[in-house]
Amino acid sequence: MIWLNGNIVAAEGAVSANDRGLLLGEAVFETILIKNGVAQFWPEHLQRLWQACAYADLSTPYAPEVLQQAVSSLMAKTASAPRHVLRITVTGGDGGRGLVPQTVSPPNWLVQVSPSTPVPALWHLVDSEALGDANRPPYKTTSYLENIRARRAALKAGGDDAILFNQHGDLVGAPAGNLFIGINNRLLTPRLRDGALPGIIRQQILQLKTVEMDGQQWRIDEAALSRQMVSEAQFIVMSNSIMEVLACDYAPNRPRGSSKQQAQKMAACLVDKLPFLNA
């Protein structure tokens, strides 16, 4: 079951063939972790969704309280689990083809809830021919074709996910997550201007400013991260709203697994510093 424009309906056949999100990718979305029945960072996610709707010129007719009730109704119809994934998608409506539809239609608001898959202990990253885009908007849109291509190629290569660089050769992140590299007692993440998404967990990590690991302070910051810097990194961790903080392995010039221990140590240190991750 899904919530569509104010009603709980069957998922099958609910979306029209004229939906502009389907036809043209005119849609924005947010993916939110529900942990023990509580939607994590609900205000932050809704703020980003409202900003994305304004960017895409999509109206926001539903108050946050209405969406909260929609989530509660769906949770009541979903199998019990400690972690669920909530996705809110807003499309350009049923106006059909054409860059600007001749007939104006209201946007479609779709809410889905499903049990979350288990979080792995380690995430193996591999190089990708797909490029991130330094000029991408700082919002989640449904134009994810390059991300999908990169993930599929990574799986075929024996990894879990890809590592993406932009057209200038600077790190962007992973197809569905922000990356932090550890190098010379600095924990660095790509800048937004290089194409990184303004992830909510990313922002929480940046606000720490520093983190201690093995008795040493690591300064947390944004930076332009070249391919060489990434290849020389001591370790990488990934963050996103569903897996939260995850140790990664990316070692193009070293044996697979060589950075595992430090990555897992840093992931554990970040979890200790961010109480909501232990909830």
At residue 131, the pLDDT reads 78
**What are 183-187's contacts with CB under 8 Å, separation 24+?**
183/229, 183/232, 183/233, 183/234, 185/216, 185/217, 185/218, 185/219, 186/218, 186/219, 186/220, 186/221, 186/223, 187/211, 187/218, 187/219, 187/220, 187/221, 187/237, 187/266
Residue 254 has pLDDT above 70, yes or no: no
Band (pLDDT 50/70/90 cuts) for residue 136 is confident
Band (pLDDT 50/70/90 cuts) for residue 28 is very high
Give CATH superfamily name and number for 123-278: D-amino Acid Aminotransferase, subunit A, domain 2 (3.20.10.10)
Band (pLDDT 50/70/90 cuts) for residue 97 is confident
Pick the CATH number of 2-115 from 3.40.50.720, 3.10.20.600, 1.10.10.10, 3.30.470.10: 3.30.470.10
97-101, 139-143, 264-268, range with the lowest pLDDT: 97-101
At residue 132, the pLDDT reads 79
35-49, 124-138, 161-175, 227-241, range with the lowest pLDDT: 124-138
Instruction: Write out pLDDT tens, residues 187-224.
Output: 999 999 999 999 999 999 999 999 999 999 999 999 99
Q: Is 254 helix (H, G, I), strand (E, B) or coil?
A: coil
Where do the structural domains in the chain lie, given as residue ranges? 2-115, 123-278
**Range 151-177 average pLDDT:** 93
Band (pLDDT 50/70/90 cuts) for residue 102 is confident
At residue 271, the pLDDT reads 93
At residue 252, the pLDDT reads 63
Whole-structure pTM value? 0.92
